[in-house]
Structure 1
Amino acid sequence: MKRLIFCFAFLLVLLSTTKATSQVKITGMVKENKEKLNLPGAIVTLEGPSHEIVKKDYADFDGSFTLSADVKSGTIVVNFFGYVIKKIPFTVKDAPVIDLGIIYLVESGSIVKDLKAKSSSIDIAKDRKTPIASSTIRGFELKERIGNKDFVEVTSNIPGVYTSKSNGSFSESNMFIRGYKQDNMALMVDGIPLSDVETGNIDWSGLMSINDAVSSVQLQRGLGASKLGNSSVAGTMNLILRDSDSKRGGYVFNTVGNDGFSKFAASLSTGRLKNGFSANLLLSNTRGDGYVKSTDFEAFSYFVALGFAKGKHDFQVKVFGSPQWHNQRSSRIAISSYPGYNTNDIDRKYNPNWGYLNGEKSSTSTNYGHTPLGILEWNWNLTKDTQLSTKLYGSTGTKGQTLLAGGIQGDSFYLDNNGQMDLDFISKYNSGVPANYNGVEYTRMAQPTGGFINSLNDGYNYDSMDNTTGVTLVSEISNNTFYGGIMNLKSDLTKNITFNVGIDGRSSVLNKTKYVNNLYGADGYAFNRKNMTDYTSETFKAKPSYNIFDLKNEGVSVDYNYDAILKYLDAYAQLEYSIGKLNVFGQAGFNREFIERVDYKPLGAPVAVSTGVKEADGYSAKLGVNYNITHKQNIWANMGTVSKPPVFVTVYSGLNNFINPEIVNEKFESFEIGYGFRSRYFTFNTNVYLSKHKNAEIPYYTPTLGNFGTTSGINRAHRGVELDFTAPLFSKFMLKGFFSYGNCVYDTNTEYKSFNTTTQTFDRSVLLTDGIKVGGAPQLMTGIGAAYSLFDKFTFGSNVKYFDDFYSTADLEKFDPIFYGEDAYKETIKLPSFAVMDAFVSYRLLMNKGAQALDLRFNMDNILNRLYITESNSSIRKSDYVNSYNLNEGTYESTNKIYKGLADGNNAYFGFGRTWNFTVRYEF
C-alpha cells in the first residue's frame, strides 16, 4: 500500500514538472474601454508563430480567461462582437505563466453596425448612456433559449415582461410590458415598424423563425429611445438582423421536441471579401403536431443579405420571409368544459375547433400567410463626425384565416360527445337532412324559391319566411402592401454634443375581404347588402328576398371587400449632450397620418366608394438625464409624452364607410428613475416608473360582424418597480434574477358606444370601470436562475419563476350594469398564483483547433408539470348566479362550482405542461 501511494505521488510530481517545463499558461481579463465593464463570452484565441490556431476559449462570466499550450511564442487574439479585435504577441522566456492583466477593447460600432451610423435609424440604446430601461438578448442567447418555444418567450426573464402562450397555437403567444398589451408596443425589424395597419396589433406568425437571422434583440421598456413616430408607452422591441459581412463560416442545426416538433436550419456567410462584397444566407423548416390537439403547423423561412462596402459607403440588401400555416384553437373555453374537469384531471390540450367530416379530420380554424420584407440600407460616412443613414423597404403578401360563420337556431357551434366539432351534424342540417343533436331533432326548411342557403347571421330566424341560417366555413383574406423609407443624419457637432435629425415615411394598403370556403352541404350562401356600400336604411328583415344575393359557388367574395389605406410622414430631431459624468438627452417628433377607406361592392361590380382622406396628427417629446456617480454606479431619469393618432378600426365604425365623428388622439405620459451598479462580481439595475394612458379606445371587432362598437374614454395608470441582477459568484457559477411589481388600474369610468344605423348616432352606455385592476399580466413577477459549468464547456442550470397578483382581461363592455343586468361584471377577478421551473444542460465540443464546434443543448420547461391558468378573458365572481334567468339555481359558490377559488364558468387557457427540446448544432 505504501509503495502504491509513493508511486502515485511520484507520478503527480512528474506530471506537474512536465507541464511546467513544456507548457505556458496565459491569463488575463477582458473589459470594454469606456465604462470598464467585463465582457463575458469574449473569444480568446491563441495563435502559433505561423498564425495557426493552437487553442480557442471564451472569457468567463467575470471576463477572465486562462489558456495553456505547448508553444514558445505566438499571439493572443481577443474578439468580442461590436468591438475592435485586439492582438497581443508574446514570447515565452523563463516564466511558465504570463499574466496579460486587463485587456481593454474599443467599441467598433459593429453591433448593428452596432452603434454606428445605422444605429440612428435602428434605435439602439447604449448601456449606461441613454437613460432608459432596456435589455439586450444577443444571438448566442437566442439559439440557446428558443428550442421549440414561440419567439416572444425569449423575453420572459426580463423584469416587467409577461408572455403567455394564449390559446396554445403556434406563433400566437401574447406579450405584456408593464401591464400593457402588445398592441401598445412598437415592434421593429432593423428599425422598421411592423404593427398591423388596421388595429396596431402584432402578428408574430410571419416572424417565428426570424431568431435564426437576428444578431440581437433589444427590448426598451417604457417610452424608450426610439426617435420614430410609432413611439409607445409600453415598449419598443427591435429585432436586429445580421449583416451580410458577418464572420465567415456557417452552421447547420436540427432541433427535435415534444409533440412531433422538428426544426432544421442551415446558414452560410462569406464574410467580407477583398473586393468589398459579402453575402449571408439562411434557410429553415419548422413543423410539428402542436402541444394543443389539432394545432399542427409548418413554416419555411429564408434570409438573404448581400452587401458591398468601399471607402465611405456601405450598402446592404436584406430579404426575409416565412411562409407558414397553422391550425388554431380560437374558441374561449369555460373551465368546466375541459375534459377531465369532473375527475380533477383537466386535459389542458383540449381544442374544440376541429372535428371529423365524413371520417376525415378537419380543422375549422386555420391561419396561413406569407409577407416577405425587403430592405435596402445605405450608410455614408460624410466625414469622420457625420454619417447619413438611409433605409428603403417594402413588403407585399397575403394572410388568411378560416372561421365559422352563421349558426343553427341561436347556437354558434356544436360539439359531439368527445367535445369536438360535430361537422357531420352541421352538414346534414345544412343540406336539409333531419339531424339529431343531443336528443333533439333539427330539420331545416328550404327557401321559398328552393334550395338551402347559408348566411352570415347568428342563426336566429329574423323572418319566418327566410331561413337563411346554417353554418359556413369562410376565409378572411388580407392582402397587404407597404413601402417606405427612413433617413437619418447623425453628427458629432462638438466633442460633447451629438445631433440626430431625420424623416420617416410609409404608404400602406390593406385589402380585406371574405370568401366562402366550405358550404358544408348547403346549396348557396346569402349575404346582406347593407354591410356593403349600400347606405340605405333597408334592413335584412324588412326585405329578405330583395336585399340578398344567392351564391351557388364556393371561392367567391362575400359580405365585404374594402381597402384600408394608411400613409404617414414623420420628422424628428434628437440632441445628446455629454460632459464628464453627466449625459443629457432630448428628443421631439411630429407625424401626420393620412387615413382612407375604399369600399367595393361584391361580385365584381365596378363600383368603389372612398371616404376621402382624413388627416390626423401626432407628436412625441422626451427628456432624459444620466449621471455616472463612479465608474461602477449611475443614476438616471427620463420623462416624456406621446400623442398617438387613433388606429384605423376606431376611425371607421363597422364594415362600411361611416366615419367616427368623435375620434381623439390617445395620450401617454411617462416618468421613470433608475439606478445601476456594476462590478466584477455583481451587476444590478433597478427603476421605478409611472405612466398614464389617456383617451384610449378599444374597438370590438369580429371578422363576421366587423367593428360593432367601441369602448372609449379609457384612462388608466400603470406604476411599478423593476430590478434585475447578475452575479458571477465564481468563474464556473452564474446567478441571475429579476423582480417587478406593478399597480395597474383603470382610474375612471368608461363609455361604450355602438353606432345606430337608423339615427346615424351613437347609442351610449356607462361602464363602471373606475378602480378595477388592469388584467392580462401578473403584477408581481420574480425569478431566479443559476448556471454551473461542471467541467470545460459542459454547463447545466435551472430557472424558477413565480407570478402573483394576476387578474383576468375581461371585456370592458360587460361592465355595463344596465344592458347586462345581473350578468354584468363587477371587477376583474384575481387568478391563482403559480410558479414554473425550467432546466437545461449543454455541451460545446471544439474541433480542428477551435475552427469548428459541435453544440448539444437539452431544454425542459415546466419540469414539475404544474397545472396553472395563463390567461382568462372573463370575470364571473363566485357570488354571481349560475343562471341569471333562474336565480333559484343558486350561485357558483352555493352550488360548489368552484375551481381553485374561481367560478368554473369563467373561460381560461392553461399553460403548457412538461415540454422538452434537444438541439444538435455544428458551426464551421
Structure 2
Amino acid sequence: MKLRIKAIFIALVSLYSLNIYGQGSVEGIVTDDATGESLIGVNIVYAPGKGVVSDMNGYYSINLKDGNYTLTISYVGYVTQTKKVSIVKNKNVTLDIQLATVTLGEVEVVGDLARTRETPVAFSQISPLQIEEKLASQDIPMILNSTPGVYATQQGGGDGDARINIRGFSQRNVAVMIDGLPVNDMENGWVYWSNWFGLDAVTQTIQIQRGLGASKLALPSIGGTMNIITAGISQKRKIKIKQEVGSDGYLRSSVGYTSGKLKGGWGVTAAGSYKRGNGWADRTFTEGWFYYVKVDKKFGKNIISFTAMGAPQEHGQRRYTKPIATYDSTYAREQGVTKAPSEYFASNYIDPAKMVNKGLRYNSDWGKYTDANGTEIILNDKKNYYFKPLYTIRHFWAASDKFYLSNIAYLSLGNGGGTSLKKSVQPRYITDDGQINLQDYYDINIANFDPAFPDEPKSYQYMRSNINNHNWVGLLSTFNYKINNEFTFSGGIDLRRYVGTHYEEVYNLLGGTYTLDSRNANRDPNTQLRKGDKINYHNDAIVEWA
C-alpha cells in the first residue's frame, strides 16, 4: 500500500514538473501597421492544422512545449508574415504583430500610395475589417470621420449626397481616385458618391493622404488625396453573399466573388448589388443597382487588366437649408436665436407658426396631388437620377526591381440629371404641413387654356430636369526608375478629353399637355413643348488636359 502511494506521489510530481518546466506560451496583439487598430480573426498557425485566431481586441495566446516554432500569420487583405519563436522551459514570449495591407503593383504606381516610414506625407489607411464593421449602408466617405483632419457629412440626408472635407478643403480640392483613376468631375471638381454606392463590396483598402504630396497625375489635391483600392488577382479566393435590412424600408442584397490567381495567370473579381429604401429624412427614397467586373491576366513580368463598373440609381433629395427653428425651436433658442416662431417666415404662408418644430426628418422638397382619375401622385421636387459606367484597360510591366511602367486607358459615360419645379415656389403654395401644394398647381394647369391652342391645357407650373451628360476618355502612363536608395526618377503622361452636354428638358407637366418657352431665340416662342423637349439652354463644355 505504501509503495502504491509513493508511486502515485512520484507520478504527480513528475507531471507537475513537466507542466512547470516543459511548457510556455507566446502571446501578443495583432494590429494594422498603418492605422494601429487591432485586427479580429487573424489566423496564427504554428503547425499544420494547429493554431489560434485573434479575439475582439486583436489578442492571441498559444501554449507551446519547449522548442523552436515558426508562426504563420495570415489575414484576408493583408500580407502574410512568418515569425520564429523559441520556448525554453516556462518562458512566456510576447510577440506583437503588425500586418500590412496587400496592394497590387500597378495600383501602387498609379495611385501613388504612401508607405509607413517611407513617404513624407501624413496619411491613414482604412482596412477591409473597418469597412466591413463600420460602413454599413452609409456612403463611403462617412467611414472616414474618425480619421484625423477629415470631416464627412450626409448633407441633407439624401442617399449618395455625402461630401468630404480634408484639412478644411472641400471636395473640389480633394483628389478622389478609384484604383488610381481620378473621378472628380472635370468641370467643377465634385464627386457624386451616388454613382459609386456599391464599391464597398470590392474595396480592399482606402488610403487618405492629407495635404499636398508628390503625384504623377494632374490632380486638384491641395486638401489631400483619397484612393480607393479594389480587390484583384493578388487576393485569396473568396465568395461573399450579404443581405442587409435596416430601418425606413432599407434593403440591400450583395454578392461578390474573387478568384485569386488561377491557372495560366488569370484572375477574376465580380460583384453585384441592389438597394432600395425610403430614406431617413422624408421622401429621401433610394433605389439603385451596382455591377463590377475585373479580369486580370499575368504573364511574365506583365499584368493586363480589364475593368467595367457602374451604378444606375435614383434618389430623393433634401436640398435647401432652413432656419434651425424649422426643425426644433427649443434647440434654436439654446443656440442664441431670439426670433419668435412666427417671425421666421413671411405672412403670406398659410400659417407661419406651423412652419416650425417640424422635426429632424422634415423635408420641404416634395408634394402630392390627386389627378382627374382619383389617383394620388407623390412627387419629389428634388430628385437625382444618374448612370456613370467606367471602363478601363490597364497594363503594368515590372521590368526589374528598379524600373516599372504603367499604362491605363479609360472611358467614362455619364447620363442623367436632377429635377426641380420650373418656377420658384411661392409661400402661398406651401401647405400647413410644410410641403409643396402640387394640388393647386395641378388644378391651375388642367384649367389653363391658351387662346392659341384652345383644345389643350397649358402648364403654368411644371417639373424640369437639368441634364448633365458626358463622354470622358483618358490615358495615364507613368514610370518609375530607382537610381539608388536615395534617388528615384519618375514621370508620366496624363491625357484627358471631356465633353459635357448640358440642357434643360420638360420632365413632368403636372396635368397639362404642353408648355411654352420664349427664351430660345432660335425657336418660335409659340412652339408647343412636351415631355422630353429641350427648353431654356443647351450647351456643350469641352475640357482637355495634357
TM (norm. structure 2) is 0.81
In 2, the alpha carbon distance for the partners of 1:129 and 1:285 equals 40
Question: Contact 1:121 / 1:488 at 8 angstroms: preserved in 2?
Answer: yes
The code of the aligned residue for 2:245 comes to: V
- Name 1:111's counterpart in structure 2: 102
Report the residue type matching 1:41 in the other structure.
L
Counterpart for residue 372 of structure 1: 389
Q: Deviations over 1:34-70 (max 9, x none)?
A: x99979539343254xx3x333323897x87422479
1:208 equivalent in alignment to 2:183: no
1:555 to 509, 528, 532: 532
C-alpha change, 1:67 and 1:23, in structure 2 (3 Å) is: farther
Distance 1:338 1:352 in 2: 11
2:368 to 336, 356, 377: 356
Aligned partner of residue 406 in structure 1, secondary structure = coil
Match of 1:153 among 142, 148, 159: 142
CA distance in 2, matches of 1:84, 1:349: 45
2:220 to 228, 231, 236: 231
**Is 1:568 aligned with 2:545?**
yes
Separation of aligned partners in 2, 1:483 and 1:40: 41
Q: 1:170 to 1:55 in 2, by over 3 A?
A: same
1:425 to 422, 440, 446: 440
Report the equivalent of 1:76: 71
**Alpha-carbon distance in structure 2 between the residues aligned to 1:28 and 1:264:** 39
Q: Write the distance in 2 (CA, Å) between the matches of 1:46 and 1:413.
A: 72
Compared with structure 1, are the counterparts of its residues 269 and 22 closer, same or farther at alpha carbon in structure 2 (3 Å cutoff)?
farther
Equivalences for 1:8-19 in 2 at 5 Å?
Answer: none
Q: Deviations over 1:520-543 (max 9, x none)?
A: 12242222344x6x5xxxxxxxxx
Q: Counterparts of 2:300 and 2:408 in 1: how far apart (Å)? A: 19
- Does the aligned pair in 2 maintain the 1:30–1:39 contact within 8 Å? no
- Partner of 1:528: helix, strand, or coil? coil
Q: Counterpart in 2 of 1:10?
A: none
The 5-angstrom pairing of residues 384-395 of structure 1 reads 384-395=401-412
Partner letter of residue 498 of structure 1? T
Which of 505, 508, 518 is the aligned partner of 2:508?
A: 518
| Counterpart for residue 124 of structure 2 | 135
CA drift of 1:417 comes to: 2.2
The 3 A distance-change label for structure 1 pair 190 and 18 is farther
- Would you say 1:41 and 2:39 are equivalent positions? yes
User: 1:275 deviation in Å?
Assistant: 2.2
Aligned to 1:718: none
When residues 209 and 19 of structure 1 are mapped into structure 2, their CA distance, relative to the original with a 3 A threshold, is: farther
Q: Give the whole-Å Cα distance in 2 for the aligned partners of 1:331 and 1:145.
A: 29
Deviations 1:317-357, CA, capped at 9 Å, x for gaps: 22222121111123343344448885985411111222222
Q: 1:528 aligns with which of 503, 509, 518?
A: 518
Distance 1:224 1:151, change over 3 A: same
Partner of 1:57: 53
Mapping for residues 562-641 of structure 1, pairs under 5 Å: 562-569=539-546
Q: What CA distance in whole angstroms lies between the structure 1 residues aligned with 2:357 and 2:98?
A: 58
Q: 1:73 deviation in Å? A: 9.3
Say which of 163, 178, 189 aligns to 1:189.
Answer: 178
Q: CA shift at 1:398, angstroms? A: 1.2
Q: Give the one of 487, 490, 502 matched to 1:497.
A: 487
Post-superposition CA distance 1:540-569 (Å, at most 9, x none)? xxxxxx951432532222222222221211
Q: For 1:195-248, what per-residue CA distance to the aligned partner results, in whole angstroms no more than 9, with x for missing partners? A: 123322221111122122211111222223333112332222111122233111
Quote the residue 1:446 is aligned against: 450
How far apart are the structure 2 equivalents of 1:22 and 1:393? 64
> Among 145, 166, 170, which residue is 1:177 paired with?
166
Label 1:313 to 1:260 Cα distance change in 2 as closer, same or farther (>3 A): same
Q: CA deviation at 1:425?
A: 0.8
Paired residues of 1:313 and 1:378 also in contact (CA < 8 A):
yes
**Which AA in structure 2 matches 1:186?**
A
C-alpha change, 1:217 and 1:103, in structure 2 (3 Å) is closer
* Distance (Å, rounded) in 1 between the aligned partners of 2:378 and 2:237: 47
Question: Where do 1:610-689 residues align within 5 Å?
Answer: none
Q: Show structure 1 runs of 5+ residues with no match.
A: 1-12, 433-443, 455-469, 535-545, 570-924
Alpha-carbon RMSD = 3.6
Secondary structure of the structure 1 residue equivalent to 2:142: helix
Distance 1:131 1:351 in 2: 45
Structure 1 position 489, deviation (Å): 0.9
Change in Cα spacing, 1:346 to 1:384, as seen in structure 2 (3 Å) is same
Return the alpha-carbon distance in structure 2 between the equivalents of residues 274 and 71 of structure 1. Answer: 41
Letter in 2 for 1:378: H
Match 2:359 to one of 341, 347, 371: 347
- Which residue matches 1:301? 290
Distance 1:174 1:500, change over 3 A: same
2:391 counterpart of 1:414: no
Distance 2:287 2:515 in 1: 31
The separation in 2 between residues aligned to 1:23 and 1:360, in whole angstroms, is 79
- 2:497 — aligned with what? 507
Matched residue SS, 2:461: strand
Cα gap change, 1:91/1:186 in structure 2, threshold over 3 Å: closer, same or farther? closer
Question: Match for 1:58: what amino acid?
Answer: S
Query: CA 1:307 to 1:147, structure 2 compared with 1: closer, same or farther past 3 Å?
Result: same
Instruction: Note if contact 2:310-2:387 (Cα within 8 Å) is conserved in structure 1.
Output: yes
Q: Report sequence identity in percent.
A: 25
SS for the counterpart of 1:111 is coil
- Is 1:265 aligned with 2:254? yes
Residue 497 of structure 2 contacts residue 543 of structure 2 at CA under 8 Å; is this kept in 1? Answer: yes
Cα separation, 1, equivalents of 2:96 and 2:442:
75
Give CA-to-partner distance per residue, 1:282-318, whole Å, 9 cap, x none: 2222221100011111222222221122321122222
- Match of 1:167, SS state, is coil
Query: In the alignment, which of 444, 464, 472 is matched to residue 462 of structure 2?
Result: 472
Amino acid at match of 2:173: N
Q: Distance in 1 between matches of 2:383 and 2:172?
A: 22
More helix by share: 2
CA drift at 1:184: 2.0
1:682-732 deviation digits (Å, cap 9, x = unpaired)? xxxxxxxxxxxxxxxxxxxxxxxxxxxxxxxxxxxxxxxxxxxxxxxxxxx
- Residue 76 of structure 1 and its aligned partner are, at CA, apart by 2.3
CA-to-aligned-CA distance 1:781-810 (integer Å, 9 cap, x gap): xxxxxxxxxxxxxxxxxxxxxxxxxxxxxx
- The aligned amino acid for 2:61 is T
Equivalences, count: 503
Alpha-carbon shift at residue 402 of structure 1 (Å): 1.6
Following the alignment from structure 1 to structure 2, what is the Cα–Cα distance between the partners of residues 281 and 165? 28
In the alignment, what sits opposite 1:27?
26
Comparing 223-232 with 23-32, greater Cα deviation is found at 23-32
> How many angstroms does 1:171 deviate by?
1.1
- CA-CA distance at 1:427 after TM superposition: 0.8
Q: Contact conserved, 1:447 with 1:453, CA < 8 A, in 2? A: no
Change (3 A) 1:90 1:481: same
Q: Deviations over 1:719-746 (max 9, x none)?
A: xxxxxxxxxxxxxxxxxxxxxxxxxxxx
Separation in 1 of the partners of 2:303 and 2:17?
52
CA distance in 2, matches of 1:509, 1:314: 31
